[in-house]
Amino acid sequence: MVMCADMKIDVESTNMKNIKIIKDEPMSRHTSWRAGGVAKQYVQPESLAELASFVATLPEDEDLLWMGLGSNVLIRDGGFNGTVIATQGVMSQLELIDDTCVYVGAGVAGAKLARFCSKHKLMGAEFFAGIPGLVGGALAMNAGAFGGETWPLVVAVETLNRKGEITKRQASDFKYSYRHVEGPKDEWFVSATLKLSKKKEKNNTIDIKQLLAKRAVSQPTGVASCGSVFRNPEGYYAAQLIEECGLKGTRIGGAVISEKHANFIINDNNATASDIEALIQLIQKTVKNKKDILLQTEVKIIGEKK
């Protein structure tokens, strides 16, 4: 394995005086679909130290949901009877370790990581510009775009457990596949060390610009969606299957399948989470009946039905 110089987050003791805890918080305010019920409590720490101390106070059976930009999750209308931890603005460290290795916090946006690597003439992270979320979420699901994936770049990670302890782990401690990652239970990513390669061209920002231009042409942007709803089945594209079934433009309540890209569901008119989930199930049923393929969701559906 190619190794990078070591770096570790320092977590000092804290009294959690700045942590913000909101009871019964509507998750429609925090998800890119702009839909969903309330969470029992929504927590906004100001630092990793504060977050670690807080997590250590929670009951061992407390359900936890780590929320970045809310771009890959649907909270059902009945809400989430647990604790949502907001990671945006926390774990934001981003720096070079050496000529080809980058240390990145889980709270860094994918697009910011892509620009940082481009600025430092590093190749391999351009695809992060097309991921509408944070690095923590990308690590949790092996997110990818434009043919690139997260975990082939990972050398090591740091995780936080329920006791508030930080553990350094090698990439070999995890198994990953397409949009799937398996690792130690009840540990959450707080950082990653990525191994990239040097790019020789003087101007390497054009790659990101081209990728984003390509996305703007093929995908709906500036609307309330979660990005891609379904994983691509082996040998197929989910969007193509949905389109071939004649489902583009199909609507349930305020939710509609995009005319521009069939693997996107848009909150077009105050859709409820139930509207969106019903449309997801309609797509799955239709594609199964017509193509004999069961589409698996890429988005995580969480919480109780109303």
Q: Is 32 a catalytic residue?
A: no
Q: Is 115 a catalytic residue?
A: no
Q: Is 304 a catalytic residue?
A: no
- Say if residues 56 and 17 touch (Cβ distance below 8 Å): no
Q: At what angle do helices 110-119 and 206-218 cross, to 10 degrees?
A: 150
Identify the active-site residue in 228, 258, 274, 277. Answer: 228
- Say if residues 122 and 157 touch (Cβ distance below 8 Å): no
Identify the active-site residue in 47, 53, 118, 179. Answer: 179
CA 30 to mean position of chain CA atoms: 13
For the chain, give the secondary structure using H, E and C.
CCCCCCCCCCCCCCCCCCCEEEEEEEHHHCCCCCCCCEEEEEEECCCHHHHHHHHCCCCCCCCEEEECCCCCEEECCCCEEEEEEECCCCCCCEEECCCCEEEEECCCEHHHHHHHHHHCCEECCHHHHHCCCEHHHHHHHCCEECCEECHHHEEEEEEEECCCCEEEEEHHHCEEECCEEECCCCEEEEEEEEECEECCCCCCCHHHHHHHHHHHHHCCCCCCCCCCCECCCCCCCHHHHHHHCCCCCCEECCEEECCCCCCCEEECCCCCHHHHHHHHHHHHHHHHHHHCCCCCECCEEECCCC
- Say if residues 218 and 260 touch (Cβ distance below 8 Å): yes
Residue type (1 letter), 88: Q
- Say if residues 150 and 144 touch (Cβ distance below 8 Å): yes
Identify the active-site residue in 25, 50, 187, 298. Answer: 298
Catalytic (active-site) positions: 179, 228, 298
